[in-house]
Amino acid sequence: MNGLGGLNKSPAGVVIGLVQLGLPTVRTAKDLAAQTARIVELVGKARRNMPGMDLVVFPEYALHGLSMDTAPEIMCRMDGPEVAAFREACRKHAIWGCFSIMEHNPDGNPWNTGIVIDDTGEVALYYRKLHPWVPVEPWEPGNLGIPVIDGPRGVKLALIICHDGMFPEMAHEAAYKGAELMLRTAGYTAPIRKAWRFTNQSNAFCNLMATASVCMCGSDGTFDSMGEAMVCNFDGTIIAHGKTGRVDEIITAEIRPDLIREARTLWGVENNIYQFGHRGYVAVKDGAQDCPYTYMHDLVAGKYRLPWEESVGVTDGTTCGFPAPTRIYKPTEN
Protein backbone atom coordinates (compact mmCIF):
# COMPACT_ATOMS: atom_id res chain seq x y z
CA MET A 1 0.00 0.00 0.00
CA ASN A 2 2.73 2.47 1.03
CA GLY A 3 5.22 1.74 -1.77
CA LEU A 4 8.23 2.13 0.56
CA GLY A 5 7.19 5.59 1.65
CA GLY A 6 6.40 6.68 -1.88
CA LEU A 7 9.64 5.47 -3.49
CA ASN A 8 7.58 3.05 -5.61
CA LYS A 9 4.72 5.33 -6.56
CA SER A 10 1.47 3.80 -7.72
CA PRO A 11 -0.29 5.36 -10.72
CA ALA A 12 -3.24 5.96 -8.38
CA GLY A 13 -1.16 7.09 -5.40
CA VAL A 14 -0.61 10.45 -3.69
CA VAL A 15 2.80 10.87 -2.02
CA ILE A 16 2.90 13.09 1.07
CA GLY A 17 5.92 14.51 2.89
CA LEU A 18 5.49 15.61 6.53
CA VAL A 19 8.22 17.99 7.73
CA GLN A 20 9.16 17.61 11.41
CA LEU A 21 10.38 21.20 11.37
CA GLY A 22 12.76 22.40 14.06
CA LEU A 23 11.02 24.67 16.56
CA PRO A 24 12.06 28.31 15.97
CA THR A 25 12.17 31.38 18.18
CA VAL A 26 10.53 34.33 16.40
CA ARG A 27 10.38 37.67 18.20
CA THR A 28 10.97 40.28 15.48
CA ALA A 29 10.12 40.96 11.85
CA LYS A 30 13.71 39.99 11.00
CA ASP A 31 13.22 36.63 12.73
CA LEU A 32 10.00 36.14 10.77
CA ALA A 33 11.76 36.79 7.47
CA ALA A 34 14.54 34.36 8.35
CA GLN A 35 12.07 31.62 9.28
CA THR A 36 10.14 32.22 6.08
CA ALA A 37 13.36 31.67 4.15
CA ARG A 38 14.00 28.47 6.12
CA ILE A 39 10.60 27.05 5.21
CA VAL A 40 11.10 27.96 1.56
CA GLU A 41 14.46 26.16 1.67
CA LEU A 42 12.78 23.03 3.00
CA VAL A 43 10.19 23.07 0.21
CA GLY A 44 13.16 22.68 -2.12
CA LYS A 45 14.59 19.92 0.06
CA ALA A 46 11.27 18.06 -0.15
CA ARG A 47 11.31 18.18 -3.93
CA ARG A 48 14.94 17.08 -4.15
CA ASN A 49 14.37 14.39 -1.51
CA MET A 50 11.64 12.70 -3.51
CA PRO A 51 10.86 13.80 -7.08
CA GLY A 52 7.52 11.98 -6.95
CA MET A 53 6.26 13.84 -3.87
CA ASP A 54 2.88 15.49 -4.48
CA LEU A 55 2.35 17.42 -1.23
CA VAL A 56 4.71 18.75 1.46
CA VAL A 57 3.16 19.59 4.83
CA PHE A 58 4.63 21.93 7.45
CA PRO A 59 3.43 21.93 11.08
CA GLU A 60 1.35 24.50 12.87
CA TYR A 61 3.63 27.24 14.27
CA ALA A 62 6.27 26.50 11.62
CA LEU A 63 6.60 30.24 10.99
CA HIS A 64 6.00 31.78 14.42
CA GLY A 65 7.16 29.27 17.04
CA LEU A 66 5.29 28.51 20.26
CA SER A 67 5.60 31.82 22.13
CA MET A 68 1.90 32.80 21.60
CA ASP A 69 3.16 36.30 20.81
CA THR A 70 0.42 38.38 19.13
CA ALA A 71 2.63 41.42 18.43
CA PRO A 72 1.31 43.10 15.24
CA GLU A 73 4.78 43.32 13.67
CA ILE A 74 5.04 39.53 13.40
CA MET A 75 1.46 38.78 12.37
CA CYS A 76 0.86 37.84 8.72
CA ARG A 77 -1.64 38.77 6.05
CA MET A 78 -2.77 36.66 3.14
CA ASP A 79 -1.36 39.29 0.76
CA GLY A 80 1.86 39.65 2.75
CA PRO A 81 5.45 38.63 1.93
CA GLU A 82 5.39 35.33 3.83
CA VAL A 83 2.47 33.87 1.88
CA ALA A 84 3.96 35.27 -1.33
CA ALA A 85 7.22 33.43 -0.61
CA PHE A 86 5.39 30.16 0.04
CA ARG A 87 3.42 30.57 -3.19
CA GLU A 88 6.59 31.16 -5.20
CA ALA A 89 8.30 28.13 -3.61
CA CYS A 90 5.42 25.83 -4.60
CA ARG A 91 5.37 27.26 -8.11
CA LYS A 92 9.16 27.02 -8.51
CA HIS A 93 9.33 23.42 -7.32
CA ALA A 94 6.00 22.32 -8.86
CA ILE A 95 4.73 20.88 -5.58
CA TRP A 96 1.67 21.38 -3.39
CA GLY A 97 2.39 22.77 0.08
CA CYS A 98 0.58 23.18 3.39
CA PHE A 99 1.68 26.10 5.60
CA SER A 100 0.82 27.77 8.91
CA ILE A 101 0.54 31.49 9.65
CA MET A 102 -0.79 33.60 12.50
CA GLU A 103 -3.09 35.96 10.59
CA HIS A 104 -3.74 39.61 11.47
CA ASN A 105 -7.34 40.28 12.49
CA PRO A 106 -8.36 43.95 12.41
CA ASP A 107 -11.34 43.32 14.69
CA GLY A 108 -9.89 41.10 17.42
CA ASN A 109 -7.22 38.55 18.23
CA PRO A 110 -5.26 37.04 15.32
CA TRP A 111 -6.44 33.86 13.64
CA ASN A 112 -4.42 30.64 13.59
CA THR A 113 -4.59 30.02 9.85
CA GLY A 114 -3.62 27.13 7.60
CA ILE A 115 -3.30 27.34 3.84
CA VAL A 116 -2.72 24.82 1.06
CA ILE A 117 -1.02 26.14 -2.07
CA ASP A 118 -1.12 24.21 -5.33
CA ASP A 119 1.79 23.42 -7.63
CA THR A 120 1.20 26.57 -9.69
CA GLY A 121 1.45 28.84 -6.64
CA GLU A 122 -2.26 29.49 -6.14
CA VAL A 123 -3.92 29.32 -2.72
CA ALA A 124 -6.29 26.36 -3.01
CA LEU A 125 -7.42 26.02 0.63
CA TYR A 126 -7.79 28.69 3.33
CA TYR A 127 -8.73 27.60 6.85
CA ARG A 128 -8.84 29.26 10.26
CA LYS A 129 -8.52 27.00 13.30
CA LEU A 130 -11.98 26.37 14.72
CA HIS A 131 -10.85 25.16 18.15
CA PRO A 132 -7.83 27.06 19.55
CA TRP A 133 -6.14 25.07 22.32
CA VAL A 134 -7.66 26.76 25.36
CA PRO A 135 -6.62 28.02 27.84
CA VAL A 136 -3.14 28.17 26.29
CA GLU A 137 -3.78 29.82 22.92
CA PRO A 138 -5.08 33.38 22.39
CA TRP A 139 -6.31 32.96 18.81
CA GLU A 140 -9.73 34.06 17.53
CA PRO A 141 -12.12 31.14 16.88
CA GLY A 142 -12.14 30.30 13.17
CA ASN A 143 -15.05 31.41 11.02
CA LEU A 144 -14.49 29.73 7.65
CA GLY A 145 -15.82 26.24 8.40
CA ILE A 146 -13.86 23.23 7.10
CA PRO A 147 -13.24 23.63 3.36
CA VAL A 148 -12.67 20.55 1.21
CA ILE A 149 -10.84 20.91 -2.10
CA ASP A 150 -9.63 18.86 -5.04
CA GLY A 151 -6.02 18.39 -3.99
CA PRO A 152 -2.99 16.89 -5.74
CA ARG A 153 -3.85 14.14 -8.24
CA GLY A 154 -7.55 14.72 -7.52
CA VAL A 155 -7.61 13.60 -3.87
CA LYS A 156 -10.35 15.30 -1.85
CA LEU A 157 -8.42 17.21 0.79
CA ALA A 158 -9.23 18.94 4.10
CA LEU A 159 -7.08 20.62 6.74
CA ILE A 160 -7.61 20.90 10.48
CA ILE A 161 -5.16 22.22 13.08
CA CYS A 162 -3.86 20.56 16.25
CA HIS A 163 -6.57 20.67 18.98
CA ASP A 164 -9.25 20.47 16.27
CA GLY A 165 -8.40 16.79 15.94
CA MET A 166 -9.48 16.02 19.50
CA PHE A 167 -13.11 16.61 18.48
CA PRO A 168 -14.52 13.69 16.46
CA GLU A 169 -17.00 16.09 14.87
CA MET A 170 -14.17 17.85 13.03
CA ALA A 171 -13.03 14.72 11.20
CA HIS A 172 -16.64 13.68 10.59
CA GLU A 173 -17.44 17.08 9.07
CA ALA A 174 -14.42 16.85 6.78
CA ALA A 175 -15.41 13.37 5.62
CA TYR A 176 -19.08 14.34 5.28
CA LYS A 177 -17.99 17.07 2.87
CA GLY A 178 -16.04 14.50 0.86
CA ALA A 179 -12.50 14.55 2.27
CA GLU A 180 -10.50 11.42 1.48
CA LEU A 181 -7.36 12.84 3.09
CA MET A 182 -7.40 15.02 6.20
CA LEU A 183 -4.26 16.92 7.15
CA ARG A 184 -3.66 17.81 10.80
CA THR A 185 -0.84 20.22 11.57
CA ALA A 186 0.22 20.82 15.17
CA GLY A 187 2.70 22.25 17.66
CA TYR A 188 1.91 19.69 20.35
CA THR A 189 4.46 18.80 23.00
CA ALA A 190 5.25 15.41 24.52
CA PRO A 191 2.43 15.16 27.13
CA ILE A 192 -0.05 14.86 24.24
CA ARG A 193 1.85 12.06 22.48
CA LYS A 194 -0.49 9.16 23.21
CA ALA A 195 -3.69 11.14 22.57
CA TRP A 196 -2.15 12.41 19.31
CA ARG A 197 -1.54 8.86 18.12
CA PHE A 198 -4.91 7.33 18.89
CA THR A 199 -6.96 10.31 17.69
CA ASN A 200 -5.13 10.32 14.35
CA GLN A 201 -5.96 6.64 14.01
CA SER A 202 -9.58 6.93 15.16
CA ASN A 203 -10.22 9.95 12.94
CA ALA A 204 -9.08 7.83 9.99
CA PHE A 205 -10.99 4.64 10.79
CA CYS A 206 -14.25 6.21 11.94
CA ASN A 207 -14.51 8.12 8.65
CA LEU A 208 -12.82 5.75 6.19
CA MET A 209 -10.27 8.37 5.18
CA ALA A 210 -6.52 8.78 5.35
CA THR A 211 -5.05 11.18 7.91
CA ALA A 212 -1.64 12.83 7.62
CA SER A 213 -0.48 14.68 10.72
CA VAL A 214 2.71 16.41 11.87
CA CYS A 215 3.94 18.44 14.86
CA MET A 216 6.83 20.83 15.30
CA CYS A 217 10.00 19.13 16.48
CA GLY A 218 12.85 19.76 18.93
CA SER A 219 13.33 22.56 21.44
CA ASP A 220 13.51 26.36 21.37
CA GLY A 221 15.04 26.39 24.85
CA THR A 222 11.65 26.64 26.56
CA PHE A 223 9.23 24.41 24.70
CA ASP A 224 9.82 20.89 23.40
CA SER A 225 7.79 19.68 20.44
CA MET A 226 7.60 16.02 19.52
CA GLY A 227 7.60 15.66 15.72
CA GLU A 228 5.46 12.50 15.62
CA ALA A 229 4.60 12.72 11.92
CA MET A 230 1.94 10.11 11.18
CA VAL A 231 0.08 8.85 8.15
CA CYS A 232 -2.86 6.57 8.90
CA ASN A 233 -4.71 4.43 6.40
CA PHE A 234 -8.49 4.47 6.14
CA ASP A 235 -8.68 1.32 8.30
CA GLY A 236 -6.84 3.12 11.12
CA THR A 237 -3.50 1.39 10.67
CA ILE A 238 -0.34 3.51 10.79
CA ILE A 239 1.55 3.38 7.50
CA ALA A 240 4.28 5.91 8.37
CA HIS A 241 5.42 7.28 11.72
CA GLY A 242 8.27 9.60 12.69
CA LYS A 243 8.98 8.11 16.10
CA THR A 244 12.58 9.25 16.42
CA GLY A 245 11.86 12.98 16.75
CA ARG A 246 14.59 13.96 14.29
CA VAL A 247 14.48 17.70 13.58
CA ASP A 248 13.73 18.61 9.93
CA GLU A 249 13.25 14.97 8.92
CA ILE A 250 10.64 14.56 6.20
CA ILE A 251 8.44 11.52 6.80
CA THR A 252 6.94 10.24 3.55
CA ALA A 253 4.08 7.94 2.66
CA GLU A 254 1.83 7.11 -0.26
CA ILE A 255 -1.93 6.99 0.17
CA ARG A 256 -4.39 5.44 -2.26
CA PRO A 257 -7.56 7.49 -2.78
CA ASP A 258 -8.90 4.81 -5.10
CA LEU A 259 -8.93 2.28 -2.26
CA ILE A 260 -10.58 4.79 0.07
CA ARG A 261 -13.34 5.30 -2.51
CA GLU A 262 -13.70 1.55 -2.88
CA ALA A 263 -14.11 1.06 0.88
CA ARG A 264 -16.65 3.86 1.14
CA THR A 265 -18.79 2.40 -1.60
CA LEU A 266 -18.36 -1.36 -1.06
CA TRP A 267 -17.90 -1.90 2.68
CA GLY A 268 -20.92 -3.12 4.64
CA VAL A 269 -19.45 -3.78 8.07
CA GLU A 270 -17.99 -0.60 9.68
CA ASN A 271 -18.89 1.80 6.87
CA ASN A 272 -19.44 4.22 9.72
CA ILE A 273 -19.48 7.50 7.81
CA TYR A 274 -22.53 6.21 5.86
CA GLN A 275 -24.15 4.25 8.66
CA PHE A 276 -24.12 7.19 11.08
CA GLY A 277 -26.96 8.77 9.09
CA HIS A 278 -28.74 5.51 8.21
CA ARG A 279 -29.25 3.82 11.56
CA GLY A 280 -30.49 0.25 11.47
CA TYR A 281 -31.00 -0.04 7.72
CA VAL A 282 -31.40 -3.82 8.07
CA ALA A 283 -34.61 -3.23 10.00
CA VAL A 284 -36.02 -0.15 8.23
CA LYS A 285 -35.68 0.99 4.62
CA ASP A 286 -32.68 3.32 4.21
CA GLY A 287 -32.27 3.39 7.99
CA ALA A 288 -33.42 5.97 10.50
CA GLN A 289 -32.26 9.41 9.41
CA ASP A 290 -33.33 11.45 12.41
CA CYS A 291 -30.98 13.18 14.86
CA PRO A 292 -31.19 11.46 18.26
CA TYR A 293 -28.30 13.42 19.78
CA THR A 294 -29.23 15.98 22.41
CA TYR A 295 -25.94 17.85 22.21
CA MET A 296 -26.41 18.50 18.48
CA HIS A 297 -29.87 19.97 18.98
CA ASP A 298 -28.65 22.10 21.88
CA LEU A 299 -25.61 23.35 19.99
CA VAL A 300 -27.72 24.46 17.03
CA ALA A 301 -30.14 26.18 19.40
CA GLY A 302 -27.29 28.02 21.14
CA LYS A 303 -27.89 26.33 24.49
CA TYR A 304 -25.10 23.76 24.71
CA ARG A 305 -24.64 23.18 28.42
CA LEU A 306 -23.05 20.31 30.33
CA PRO A 307 -24.70 18.78 33.42
CA TRP A 308 -21.57 19.82 35.39
CA GLU A 309 -21.23 23.25 33.71
CA GLU A 310 -21.29 25.19 36.98
CA SER A 311 -18.34 23.18 38.32
CA VAL A 312 -15.95 23.80 35.41
CA GLY A 313 -12.99 25.66 36.87
CA VAL A 314 -11.14 26.96 33.79
CA THR A 315 -13.31 28.98 31.42
CA ASP A 316 -10.89 31.66 30.14
CA GLY A 317 -7.17 32.17 29.62
CA THR A 318 -6.30 33.85 32.91
CA THR A 319 -4.45 30.77 34.18
CA CYS A 320 -2.05 31.17 31.25
CA GLY A 321 -1.58 34.90 31.66
CA PHE A 322 -4.22 36.23 29.28
CA PRO A 323 -6.80 38.80 30.44
CA ALA A 324 -10.41 37.63 30.66
CA PRO A 325 -12.17 38.62 27.42
CA THR A 326 -15.25 40.83 27.36
CA ARG A 327 -16.03 40.83 23.63
CA ILE A 328 -18.86 38.50 22.52
CA TYR A 329 -18.13 36.31 19.51
CA LYS A 330 -20.17 37.06 16.39
CA PRO A 331 -20.31 34.08 14.00
CA THR A 332 -20.93 36.37 11.00
CA GLU A 333 -17.51 38.06 11.31
CA ASN A 334 -15.04 37.22 8.51
- Give the Cα separation of 110 and 73 in Å (integer): 12
| Residue 1 predicted with pLDDT over 60 | no
What is the pLDDT confidence band of residue 286, given thresholds at 50, 70 and 90?
very high
Write out pLDDT tens, residues 25-47: 999 999 999 999 999 999 999 99
What mean pLDDT is predicted for residues 309-328?
A: 96
Residue 4 binned pLDDT confidence (cut-offs 50, 70, 90): confident
| pTM assigned to the model | 0.96
pLDDT at 248: 96
Predicted pLDDT of residue 331: 80
Segments making up each domain of the chain, as ranges: 3-275
Residue 284 confidence (pLDDT): 98
Active site residue 285: no
Considering the candidates 76, 103, 129, 180, report the single residue annotated as catalytic: 129
Does the pLDDT of residue 285 top 80, yes or no? yes
> Is the pLDDT reported for residue 314 higher than 80?
yes
Q: Is residue 291 among the annotated active site residues?
A: no
Catalytic residue status for 9: no
What does the mean pLDDT of the chain come to?
A: 96
- Asked if the model's pLDDT at residue 334 lies above 70, the reply is no
Among the listed residues 90, 98, 162, 215, the single catalytic one is: 162
Q: Quick one: what percent of the chain has pLDDT higher than 70?
A: 99
**What pLDDT does residue 333 have?**
52
Task: Calculate mean pLDDT across residues 69-86.
Answer: 98
**pLDDT per position as a tens digit, 207-219:** 999 999 999 999 9
pLDDT of residue 260: 98
Options 60, 137, 173, 254, the catalytic residue: 60
Mean pLDDT, residues 86-112 taken together:
98
pLDDT band at 330 (very low <50, low <70, confident <90, very high): confident
Mean pLDDT value across residues 111-137: 98
Q: Hey, what CATH topology would domain 3-275 get?
A: Nitrilase/N-carbamoyl-D-aminoacid amidohydrolase (3.60.110)
pLDDT surpassing 70 at residue 97: yes
- pLDDT (average), residues 133-147: 97
Residues 266, 273: Cα–Cα separation, whole Å:
13
pLDDT in tens, 229-275: 999 999 999 999 998 889 999 999 999 999 999 999 999 999 999 99
10 Å CB burial of residue 178 (0-12, 13-18, 19+) is middle
